[in-house]
Structure 1
Amino acid sequence: MVGDRLVVHDLVVDDECAVRVVSERTQAGEDASKVVRDAVEIGTRVLDREQAAANSEYVKTEFERASRELESQFTEKARLVAEHFGEKVDEVFGPENGQLARDLERRFGDGSAASVQNRVRELVGEALVKSREDLVRQFSAADGANPLADFKAGALESINQAANRSHATQRALLEKLAELQKELQALRDEKDKLEEIDAERERGTAKGRDFEELVAESVDALALRQGDVAESVGDQKGAAGKTGDVVVAVGACDGPPRGRIVFEAKDRKLSRPTAMAELDRALTDRDADFAVLVVPTEAELPAKLQPLREYNGDKLLVVLDAEDATGLSLEVAYRLARARVLMARGGEGVDGAAVHDLVERALASMEDVRKVKSHLTGAKTNIDTAYRVVDEMTLRVRAHLADVDALVFAGDPGEQAVPPDDQLEL
């Protein structure tokens, strides 16, 4: 050893592998001393690693041996501790001789006079007896000592007053109901007469027909009575489109038509601009002089537009209710549109002032019809409401009487039981 260097003199190595490697490297042009130096360095590192591995294996073996010894010692200690705790648990929690079982038997056993349930039963019984006696003495008194004396008197007086008011109200309601029934019967008779007049036309309308077909048939019936010709053109293309479902040629039964009216059926609600644009297209597509928009109910009318009111001098809206056997609204709209067309064409014998006067009268009569229908609906609603009010008042009175009986008989178990609600008399 020379400092941090290793010097080897006259070293002879007989290892066949070392001789072969040095020979091959020398033939390849490498320095023999460098090859030997590399072999020594590499071998030294290999020996160092082998020694480290041997040391690790030793440490591992020693650690495993120590672990086995520690585990054996811990197992023995754990067994001793478990046996000790088992003995203590048996002393306390043993099912027969345990301290806890003896204490529980003494505190909660039925045969023990000091048991909790027996003491609680005795205390509760004493408290209930005393409370019952106090309540009976207090509520049995008829003088001011009874806190319910004034309440019972006031309750009976209030119930009697309520019963009297209920009787008076019921008599008034029954009288009013009798009058309403007479009015309803008269209205039913009138309705039956109107239905008999239009029964033939109703039988010709199939229940499953859509709204457009209903409008076409209704308009055709009106046109026939007026000497006009109605044609269903909903599937036929006009000048620019198919807007307009029914076209009426005014006076076509007697000669050349004197004007044209187009009816557009809509079973859904349109906005005001859309409705007006729809009627304008119908006028253009069907080359008509007047356009009528027909809807099934007032709910489908465009906002801020009224039925049977003219707009722009050539448009009108009307409601055709399938359940209305008379079809009066559609007839008024038809005749109003027909009169406007004839007036615009200057037909012979048409007096504009007279037509205007008659139209106003017809519209006023239609308003009267609407009011009568509204009164009919209101009368039926009032009758149903009156019956409900009477039933509710009866139930409230019976409930008050039942509460009074319960309060009166609560203090005396020997009193007669409260009769059922259906046996109480007002």
Structure 2
Amino acid sequence: MEAATPLPFAQVCVRNGRLAIDQLVVDDQTTVRLASEREDPARFVLEAIEIGARVLDRELTGANAEFVRAEFEKTARELDAEFAERARVASERLDLKIDEAFGPENGHVSKALARHFGDESSVAVQNRVKSVVGEVAVQMREDLRKQFSGDGDSNPLAAFQRAMLAIVKQTSDQQADGQRAMGEKLEAMKVEIAELRAEKEKLAEIAAVQDKGTAKGRSYEEAVAEALEAIAVARGDDCDAVGDVRGEGGKKGDVVVGIDACAGPARGKIVFEAKNRKLSKNDALAELDGALQARAADYAVLVVPAEGKLPARTHPLREFNGDKLFVTFDPEDDSTLALEVAYGLARARVLMARAADGGLDTAALRAEVERAQRAMEDVRRIKSQLTNASTGIDEARRILDAMAAGVRAHLGAIDALLAAATEAETSA
């Protein structure tokens, strides 16, 4: 921006913080052009003056900063040179003083250190400290021994010692009680283990007996099946061992007999359940009901090896509910009479129930069945009497053998007496 051409009558002054311009004419073409393009020339003049003033102020500030920077650099160079000189002089003086104080031969500090810390010096610090520490340690050990060996209040560990002794005693008592309780528990456990071992052995024995009984029951079942097979063949019936064959409701029922099945369709079925163990009456009847249902039979017979295996308060060849019967059969006995009677009775009951199939004389058949039952009762009674008689004969034979042994003993005594008498006569 070019400077304005002052007029002789122009007045520029500053009053009360304001710039006043009167009769000022500006010939700068740029200023004139910009002012002519503005709608408010007065506003433009104010902005131009303000902006120009700020630019001038910034330029003056930059010029002052350059001047200050140049002066500072000049002063810094002078100070650096002066400081380097002073540092050199100070370093020389410091080296001299350090040599005087810390020189290895004539330094004051080296001499003092050698005097106070040298091993050869008697007044060395470590030697004096060692001597003092030794004396203090001896005194402290003596004082501590006296203090901690006493039982009085001067001993700070007396209460602790008493408390520790009480705790040790309590712990010892608790440990003894615990060991005593543990010993009692061990004894109880030993007894329990012995009981468990005995129970285990007993269970093993029971299991062995049960296995043996199962095997025995299986052999008994096979014996009953063989006997029934012989009886059925003689009557033209079909006999099947079905103990291992599952029926409609399970495996109940060991032997199934089909009446007249050898000549055509079976006229009825009889199921036999062989048991080598004693059952209650209700269990036995339940077994037979299950066998009837499982084998779709018309009559069921429970076969046991002896009267002692029959349900309580029951007798052989006694019917129940018109379709169940108990009978005894001992395979070791050669007689199958009871089994034959039970077979015939069951067969007759089935055929009587189906009398319309063949015009069967049920009255005559029923009479014969009743006579067969009475005859079987007579056979059972006589057999029992024979058994009792046989038992009496065996007892008499045992008594006779005992008497014979007594007679032989007496004869031996007589022989001994005779031998003694003979020796006496020979000596005389």
- The TM-score with structure 2 as length reference comes to 0.46
TM-score (norm 1): 0.46
Which structure ranks higher in relative contact order (CA pairs < 8 Å, sequence separation ≥ 6)? Answer: 1
Higher Cα Rg: structure 1 or 2? 2
